[in-house]
Amino acid sequence: MVPKTKLVKKEYSPLVIRRYSLPVLIFVALITDDDLSNLDVVVEKAFKSYGSIRNNIQELRNLAGYLCEELSKFYKKAEGIAVIIQADKMTISSLMGDFMNHEQCRLELYSLLLFNTQV
């Protein structure tokens, strides 16, 4: 994924973090100009196409990467995509675009996740 960072009109691409409570806790974060009204449908479809989720380190790593890839296929204007999985005393993160390339985006993401989990 090539970063699609914009320097003008950045206010139209806010960071969105969505939490999914499945057998494991999953956070999906996006920086995009795409319409996210159907985000839940896209994520649920990706879960179904992936198959069963097992509490296995490598399986959860694979799931995080798979979700990032599926989201990047659907949200073409995405500047940053992150999937964070928390399961069984472990955190897995898969980052693309701005989250991988820009420290400030990563800091904002992880600061908001810390805030979300302590509220």
- List, in order of start, the domains of the chain with CATH numbers: 10-118 (3.30.1130.10)
Measured N-to-C along each axis, helices 57-74 and 39-50 cross at an angle, to the nearest 10 degrees, of 140
Helix, strand or coil, per DSSP, at residue 81: strand
What helix, strand, coil percent values describe the chain, rounded to 5?
Answer: 45, 25, 30
Please name the residues in contact with 9: beta carbons below 8 A apart, sequence gap of 6 or more: none
Model pTM score = 0.85
- Average pLDDT of the chain, as a whole number: 87
pLDDT in tens, 10-34: 556 789 999 999 778 999 999 999 9
Residue 3 has a pLDDT of 53
